[in-house]
Amino acid sequence: MERETEHEAATESAPSRLPGATGPLSFATVPTGAAIDLQRALGNARTARVLRRPDGGRVSLAVATGRLHAAREEVRRRAPPQRRYRLPTPSELKSLATGGLIPEATVEEAIRTALRRMDADWELRTSADDVMKTLFPKPGVFDESAWSTVLGTSQRTVYQSVADAEAKLRPGDLAKLKDVAQEAADTIDKCMADDAGLQAVFGKQAKTAKGRYAKAKAALLKAIADSDNAIDTDYNRDDPQVGLGGWANFASQHIHLTGNVAEVKDRDEAIITLIHESAHLSHNDVDDRGYYGSDGFEAMSEPDKVGNAAHYEELPRRLLGKSRYATATFTPGQTAGGKAVTFEDHVRRDASEYLRKAWDRAVDVHGFVRGTARDILGGAKVFDARKPKLLEISKVEHLTIHAQQPQPSTVTVLDAVLSEGVARGTARIMRLGPKQPMPTSTDRAAAVTQLIDSAIADYGALLGNRAEERKLMDWLVAGYRTGF
Ligand SMILES: [Zn+2]
């Protein structure tokens, strides 16, 4: 797995350029979940027209639901037949809004959480509580004109495509990607020929690293040759929502690429990503143990480095002029500046790994929740078998599954957007980690815990309750790579 590139991360502070700038809207409510999908499909102006009502602004949820249903049908009529939508079914939408499946207070609390996350992402015009009062002036009624005010904060939509989040490569992209993959393979050849470079990065593990480079290259070319089965991408641009830069699985020899990489928006970035992901395909031991540039990256032990996909980026980055390390040689226990690793370096590295694992797991949990919602919409009877796990997730991530009446029976789009929000929040917290001041504690474990708490508080919108947030983060880390 790889996080989004820093290039993309850096744009996060500029909301107008955020790849998924319209995404947070999908958090807000179930009818709004539909509204955001409409927005993606039709564009802002058309969505505003679809949602505009002639009755002064206040309609019941049932009326709004009916309008969204009609609008959704319009999207369906206008779209190419192969396209699919992550919209709730009309019956699901209706039952959520009016049918009492989820207690009203739970729905409102979920929306409040989502609004706080929106506020943390890009400034809301008022506080979350004010928006709540405006959106829900009284029980069972929501104010559409107030809603369009919130929609109006996101005029510059970038979320144009409604293609599926796990799609085969388009022929034009595949041709470009084949070309880039060949260049990645040639780059790997150069790295393998660079014995001094291999020694400088991997030390005593240089020979093992060289062997893995060879396997990575073979696996990459094999995957490209069988791209319909071995590679998929995210034309829906869901990945930027959760900070994902791609992933690869050794057992299945499968690679998932972000839309930007699949479309080769940046050639060097695509080469580096392909090498990172194909390193995962070289050996079961090549995992993620610290992303490129993370705290303590250059000081890691040799067994850790040879088992860390991001370390296979360093030699290619040097060839491309994209290395961040001034030093030519990585020495275990030494920083790039040549100094011995300090207490602070250890604390920062420990916290960095904790935050990375929490995010990685949150992305996997979201994939499980979203996939289950999709399976159920497709008619698959999967809920009962997955129920224990779903209830566990729902409680700790503050979704709404466990609150369903008379008993939990399904996964709604509201849960999918809430779990997306947790994954997105953990991505934000991971990036805030290195920016936290060093805690004062002289005990390593205590200092790590303080640093983690500080990053969680800095984001401030994961769940809205610090103790619950830390419990959630610990739960995510404990579940890292445990499957479902
Ligand atoms: Zn990875």
pLDDT of residue 128: 64
Using the predicted structure, report yes or no on whether residue 41 has a pLDDT greater than 70.
Answer: no
Q: What percent of the chain has pLDDT over 90?
A: 51
**pLDDT, tens digit (0-9, with 9 covering 90-100), for 129-168:** 766 777 677 776 666 566 555 544 332 222 222 234 567 8
DSSP 167: B
Average pLDDT, integer, range 29-34: 38
- 112 versus 346: the higher-pLDDT residue is 346
> What separation in Å is there between the alpha carbon of 306 and the centre of ligand 1?
13
- Rounded Cα distance between 115 and 110, Å, is 9
For tokens 């996350």, the residue is: 117
> What separation in Å is there between the alpha carbon of 231 and the centre of ligand 1?
15
**pLDDT, tens digit (0-9, with 9 covering 90-100), for 189-234:** 999 999 999 999 999 999 999 999 999 999 999 999 999 999 988 8
- Rounded Cα distance between 393 and 402, Å, is 9
pLDDT of residue 12: 29
> What separation in Å is there between the alpha carbon of 284 and the centre of ligand 1?
12
**pLDDT, tens digit (0-9, with 9 covering 90-100), for 347-371:** 999 999 999 999 999 999 988 998 8
> What separation in Å is there between the alpha carbon of 139 and the centre of ligand 1?
46
> What separation in Å is there between the alpha carbon of 331 and the centre of ligand 1?
22
pLDDT of residue 47: 45
- Rounded Cα distance between 419 and 408, Å, is 17
Using the predicted structure, report yes or no on whether residue 310 has a pLDDT greater than 70.
Answer: yes
> What separation in Å is there between the alpha carbon of 22 and the centre of ligand 1?
27
Average pLDDT, integer, range 181-192: 98
> What separation in Å is there between the alpha carbon of 294 and the centre of ligand 1?
13
pLDDT of residue 150: 54
Q: Within a 10 A sphere around the Cβ of 326, how many other Cβ atoms?
A: 9
Pairing of β 58-60 and β 141-143:
antiparallel
Quick one: which H or E segment has residue 91? helix 90-98
302: nearest Cα among 194, 187, 434, 198: 198
DSSP 207: H
Is the pTM here over 0.85, yes or no? no
Helices (H) and strands (E) in the chain, counts: 22, 6
462: nearest Cα among 429, 415, 413: 429
